[in-house]
Amino acid sequence: MTLLQELDKVYFFMKRDILSFSTYKTNILLSVLSAFFGALSYAFLGANALVQSVEASYHISYTTYLIIGLAFNTYLSQSLTLVQRTINPWSLEEVLVSPTGLVTFIVGSSLWGFIWSTGVIAIYLAVGVFAFGVVLTVNIVGTVLVVALGIATFIGFSMIGAGILILTKQGDPVTTVITIATNLFGNVMFPPQVMPAALQVISYFVPQYYFFTTIRQMLTGSTLLAILPDLLVLIIMCAVILPVGYLIYSWCLRTAKKNGTLSWF
């Protein structure tokens, strides 16, 4: 056993990993993008005008703003990765040979995740209320409605991402792009008002913005009438994204079945 031999082994361990890694080209690109936009979103968190902007725009403390944003982001994250988690190639084929429809499969596979997320949200809100004095005045009907719309919209995104993943067997660009959009333009940890005007405009085209704007209002004493304009935009976005997601997912699944690549990952 010589040092040279050992170095040769180390080199081939690394070479093995580089070769495997290089086959996931989309993943490489997405990692780079995530790092870049992640840094950008944290930079906005340090903006001096953040607290004043939140208080002026939403009439709530920044703590309340942040706690609600982080808590309900759990639902969206859960929804966004929901369909991808069900396409474990081993169990996918076993489920697909059973007389179980696609909708039942997706709903059934996601239910526990949402129950768990609800528990996580309850912990977030309890910590906010009891440790930081966050005051919540909940409009139950409005909250349920907004959460349902947010989840449905994100399941639409999730189906698009899962469909692409089934076909490409590589990284799922949709999940990365949506996560970046949520962190940067989604009104989760800072309002778009702290960003440059050109970037603020983008926020109005992402459903996350409307979800977080309306959910905060539903938890802090507003009425459904007060959020109606934003709610309508969210409804329209959901009505487009969910069926489009379903169609894309079904098409990708059919194509993978046709190509015989369903269980290749």
Q: Please, what is the minimum distance in Å from the beta carbon of residue 170 to other proteins?
A: 12
Does 259 engage in binding with other proteins (CB under 8 A)? Answer: yes
SS (H, E, C) 144-189: HHHHHHHHHHHHHHHHHHHHHHHHHCCCCHHHHHHHHHHHHHCCCC
Q: Which is nearer to other proteins, 21 or 204 (CB)?
A: 21
Contact with other proteins (CB under 8 A) among 6, 9, 22, 141: 22
> What does the per-residue mask of binding to other proteins show for 79-98, with x meaning CB under 8 A?
-----------xx-xxxxxx
The least distance separating other proteins from the CB of residue 204, rounded to whole angstroms, comes to 36
Q: Which residues contact 159 (CB under 8 A, 6 or more apart)?
A: 83, 106, 245, 246, 248, 249
Rule CB under 8 A: say whether 257 interacts with other proteins: yes
What CA–CA distance (Å, rounded) separates 38 from 70?
A: 16
Q: Per-residue string for binding with other proteins, 138-177, x by CB under 8 A?
A: ----------------------------------------
What is the phi/psi pair of residue 137, to 5°? -125, 100
Q: Which stretch binds other proteins (CB under 8 A): 72-80, 202-210, 237-245, 254-262?
A: 254-262
Q: Are 102 and 151 in contact (CB under 8 A)?
A: no
Q: Tokens standing for 259?
A: 């190509």
Cβ nearer to other proteins, comparing 67 with 106: 106
Of 4, 19, 103, 225, the residue at the interface with other proteins (CB under 8 A) is: 19
**Residue 233 carries which side chain, given as an amino acid letter?**
V
Give the helix, strand, coil percentages of the chain, each rounded to 5: 80, 0, 20
Q: Footprint of other proteins on this chain (CB under 8 A)?
A: 15, 18-19, 22-23, 25, 28, 90-91, 93-100, 108, 254, 257-260, 262
